Amino acid sequence: MTASHRDVYARLIVTGSGPDGESVFISDAPTTDRLVGEGYTRNQLWQGLEVPTPVDAPNGPGDASVIPPPPKGYGYDITAFAPDSHWNYEAGYAKLLADSGVEPDAADAPGMHTTDTIDIVTVISGEIHVLVESGETLMRQGDTIVLRGVKHAWRNRSDSPCVVSAVHISARR
């Protein structure tokens, strides 16, 4: 298990077509688009500006510090959440969200936020609690949740980082 959420790096391998039309590897390297925050580390891997996306479209502008994807687009990231006990969750989460392009409502519980997205999130390692306004559930390795534009928060009540993969799809209400 990774000792710190800051140690989580994601490798991005991109394929394409060579000059003769044969499939080839275009690139293979750790992503350089990372946001290392007090409460989580976000590795932005891929972003599409529109759907359907041309198969040869380049990676979108990407910005790991911005959670919502482009309008009519999508983003894919690997995020590692620090244990709540390793940072000041109560005071720091609203700032972390605001720095990531999400404006939480000050009247809500810490960490609660809403985005105009459908998020498909799978736990890769560790465990994390997902909170919604009416309750919460514990997610463990292999579990997937689909958040459909609802108010939610993440709480890592364990002693180890929790790593998740997430697809964020722009949505309308």
The full set of domain ranges for the chain reads 5-170
Neighbour tally for 41: CB within 10 Å = 25
Distance (Å, rounded) from C-alpha 17 to C-alpha 43? 26
Nearest residue to 37 via CA among 2, 65, 66, 67: 65
Task: Give the pLDDT of residue 2.
Answer: 61
CATH of domain 5-170: 2.60.120.10
Per-residue model confidence as pLDDT tens digits over 110-159: 899 999 999 999 999 999 999 999 999 999 999 999 999 999 999 999 99
Nearest residue to 74 via CA among 172, 173, 167: 167
Residue 154 β-bridge partners: 130
Distance (Å, rounded) from C-alpha 19 to C-alpha 33? 28
Mean pLDDT across 68-93? 93
Per-residue model confidence as pLDDT tens digits over 37-69: 899 999 999 999 999 999 999 998 877 878 889
Burial class (CB in 10 A: 0-12, 13-18, 19+), 102: middle
Neighbour tally for 90: CB within 10 Å = 11
Average pLDDT for the chain: 93
Q: Answer yes or no: is pLDDT of 1 > 80.
A: no
